[in-house]
Amino acid sequence: MYRYLCLGLLVFTLSGCAGGQKKLSLENLLPKQLESVPIGMSLSDFEQQNKLEDFEKTNITKDIFYLKKTYESDVLFVQYQFKNGQVAEVIIGYEKNFAAEDVANKLYGSADDAGRWQAQSNGQNVIIQIFDNTIIYR
């Protein structure tokens, strides 16, 4: 009896996990700011592949932030956060008239119950969130 109860709980648990949101593949759905600087990219690769004079660099504790103000179409700024020498988070800020959430829904489908999308990019797990008119990739 105990064996069947455990088996039933295991099947129930696994079926509940399977019902969660499937991870998206972001390989063809990334903005160009993330195509060239993917989550997990090393700080040294970033510094070699980008013109650093285009960025404002800030160190907060052990984290390093590179901020690029831009005037490309609807994008106001892009911020790259490095933790332990790798890109850990990318924030893309859009103009007020740009509907970031609508665009994310069109690209990535419906968000999960927490208002996030879970995805994969370059072998890294990525969580996508909307805050005000920014899209955050971490």
**Model pLDDT for residues 44-83, shown as the tens digit of each residue:** 999 999 999 999 999 999 999 999 998 777 889 999 999 9
Q: pTM here? A: 0.75
How does strand 116-121 pair with strand 75-83?
unpaired
Around Cβ 16, how many Cβ atoms within 10 Å? 9
Q: Calculate Rg over the CA atoms of the chain.
A: 19
Confidence of residue 39 (pLDDT cuts 50, 70, 90): confident
Enumerate the H helices of the chain as residue ranges.
Answer: 2-18, 32-35, 43-49, 100-108
Percent with pLDDT over 90 in the chain: 38
Contact 81, 89 (CB under 8 A): yes
